[in-house]
Amino acid sequence: MPIEVQFEKRIINHHVVREADSKSLRDYVVVTMVAAMFLLGLFVYAWQHYEWIQYGYRIEEAQKNKEQLAEIGRQLRLERASLRDPRRIDAIARRDLGMMVPAPGQLVTFSADAPLTIPKPQPAQPIPPQQADLQPQPTALAAKR
């Protein structure tokens, strides 16, 4: 069996330094910068477009919201108008609250010029029942009739 002998050849090239190619470095930087700028521009454009669409959604949403609120307002006003129906109020006043139409003599008309004040409540002195006349008094016209 032949014996192969290999001799190790040591190459000492650690002191060999590649010559700096300043031109290609500059090209590399420029291309990188241009690419970065392009990507940045693309990114800004995409971001703007995305934001535009998002704002569009938000504006549409707000618009819809505004319309809905306005519509609710209108429906509430309609409901209020229905609740103010004189027929309904009359029925409640008579049926539920036991109110009745005052006779003309029971009307009190206040002058518009009279100052309105909130008087301080002062408890009145009760009068013994025997001193008060509790009977209804007919008016002169009613007596004549």
- Gap between the Cα atoms of 96 and 90, Å rounded: 10
Computed on alpha carbons and rounded to an integer, the radius of gyration of the chain in Å comes to 50
- Gap between the Cα atoms of 134 and 38, Å rounded: 101
Q: Which is nearer to another protein, 2 or 104 (CB)?
A: 104
Site string for another protein, 102-121 (x = CB under 8 A): xxxxxxxxx---xxxxxxxx
Which residues, 16 to 75, sit near another protein by CB under 8 A?
53, 56-57, 59-60, 63, 71, 74-75
Does position 125 interact with another protein (CB under 8 A)? The reply is: yes
- Gap between the Cα atoms of 84 and 78, Å rounded: 10
Q: Which of 27, 46, 47, 138 binds another protein (CB under 8 A)?
A: 138
Residue 105 contacts residue 139 (beta carbons within 8 Å): yes
Q: Which of 11, 16, 17, 134 binds another protein (CB under 8 A)?
A: 134
The residues binding another protein (CB under 8 A) are 53, 56-57, 59-60, 63, 71, 74-75, 77-78, 80-82, 84-87, 90, 97-99, 101-110, 114-129, 131-134, 136-142, 145
